[in-house]
Amino acid sequence: MLSEHELRERLAGAAANIGDDDQRAPRAIRNAQRRRKQQRHRAGTGLAVAVSAVAIAGAVVITREGDHGVTPASAAVISCDPGRTVAHTPVVASSPYGTVVTITNTTGLSVRVLLGREFAVVPPGLSEGQYLLGSGEQAVQCVSDAGATPAVAMSVVPAT
């Protein structure tokens, strides 16, 4: 009979061959900087990107008006306020690399944000992450130790 003690010992033994690696931190910093650069690029921080986005948005409105009548946002913006969840972007574009989600947590508590089948744990303040959101109506809900807020819907459409 496998006991808890035996399981602990076998887990420790199985993982013991994973050793130190001094390069983990520098590699992670490089990856993070590259990821941030990509996120900024996607979010469209520059004027050129903004101009392109306006042009693309026009095209998207024409092609998607039948579905939603709203231009999909390139990044989702969500607020976790005391007692409520707000999706500032009712329609957001997804991509195979995930959707950038900006969450403002004003509850003063650590909040778990359910994003369809994904979730994010968000400390108070402004946070940004990238999540794989499935297409279609996704429920968004902020849950904290104070309780769950009513879920709101956010529509996710594939980016063109």
Partner 1 sequence: MASETGTDDRDAAFTAFVRARGTALARSAFLVVGDATRAEDVLQSAFAETYLRWNTLRQPEAAEAYVRRVIVTTNAAWWRRRSSSETPLAVLPDRVQPDDTQTVIERETLVCALRQLSPRQRAVVVLRYFDDLTERETAHIIGCSIGSVKRHTSRAFERLRHLLGTDLGAVDELTTPVLAIRGVSC
Q: Does 26 bind partner 1 (CB under 8 A)?
A: yes
Q: Does 128 bind partner 1 (CB under 8 A)?
A: yes
The dihedral built from the CA positions of residue 81, 86, 87 and 88, taken in this order, carries a sign that is negative
Q: How many residues bind partner 1 (CB under 8 A)?
A: 41
Binding segment for partner 1 among 21-29, 52-60, 71-79, 83-91 (CB under 8 A)? 21-29
Which 8-state DSSP code applies to residue 73? B
Kindly give the residue spans of alpha helices, DSSP state H, lying in the chain: 4-15, 24-43, 47-64
Binding positions for partner 1, 60-79, rule CB under 8 A:
none
- The correct pick among 54, 55, 59, 121 for binding partner 1 (CB under 8 A) is 121
Q: Does 84 bind partner 1 (CB under 8 A)?
A: no
* Rounded Cα distance, 136 and 50, in Å: 26
Q: Does 147 bind partner 1 (CB under 8 A)?
A: no
CB under 8 Å to 92, separation ≥6 — which residues?
72, 73, 74, 75, 76, 99, 133, 154, 155, 156, 157
- Token pair for 69: 């009548």
Q: Does 22 bind partner 1 (CB under 8 A)?
A: yes
Min separation Cβ 38 and partner 1, Å: 11
Q: Which residues bind partner 1 (CB under 8 A)?
A: 1-2, 4, 7-8, 10-22, 24-29, 31-32, 35-36, 112, 117-119, 121, 123-129, 132
